[in-house]
Amino acid sequence: MGVRGLVRLARPHQWAKNLLVFTGLLFTASFRDPEAWRATVLAFLAMGFVSSGFYAWNDVRDRDRDRSHPRKKRRPVASGEVSPPAATIFGAALLVLGVFLLWPLPALAQGLVAVYGAVQVAYNAGLRAVPVLDACAVGSGFVIRAALGAAAMGVRVSGWLLLCAGALALLVSLGKRRAEHVALGSEGVDSRPSLAGYTRESLDAMVTLSATASVLCYGLYALESETARQHPGLFLTVPFVAYGVMRYLLLVFQGQDTASEPDLLFLRDPHLIGTALLFLLASVVAMTNALPGGIAR
CB 229 within 8 A of CB 223: no
Average pLDDT, the chain: 86
Q: Which amino acid is at 89?
A: I
CA–CA separation, 209 and 204 (whole Å): 9
* DSSP letters for 231-265: -GGGGGGHHHHHHHHHHHHHHHHHT-GGGGSHHHH
Q: How many CB atoms lie within 10 A of CB 234?
A: 24
State the average pLDDT over residues 36-42. Answer: 94
pLDDT digits (tens, 9 = 90+) for 67-115: 776 677 778 888 878 888 888 999 999 999 999 999 999 999 999 999 9
In the chain, where the domains are located: 1-157, 159-290
Q: How many CB atoms lie within 10 A of CB 185?
A: 11
Assign domain 1-157 one CATH number from 1.20.120.530, 1.10.357.140, 1.10.150.120, 3.40.50.11540.
Answer: 1.10.357.140
pLDDT at 296 over 50: no
Q: Look at residues 11, 22, 107 and name the one whose alpha carbon lies nearest to residue 50.
A: 11
User: Percent of the chain scored above 90 by pLDDT?
Assistant: 46
State the average pLDDT over residues 54-67. Answer: 83
CA–CA separation, 245 and 249 (whole Å): 6
Q: What is the pLDDT of residue 241?
A: 96
Q: What is the pLDDT of residue 16?
A: 85
Measure the CA angle with vertex 98, ends 94 and 103; round to 5°.
Answer: 150
State the average pLDDT over residues 204-232. Answer: 92
pLDDT digits (tens, 9 = 90+) for 8-36: 888 888 888 899 999 988 888 888 889 99
CA–CA separation, 109 and 44 (whole Å): 11
Binned at pLDDT 50, 70 and 90, residue 290 comes out as low
Binned at pLDDT 50, 70 and 90, residue 185 comes out as low
CB 14 within 8 A of CB 94: no
Q: What is the pLDDT of residue 68?
A: 72
CB 178 within 8 A of CB 259: yes
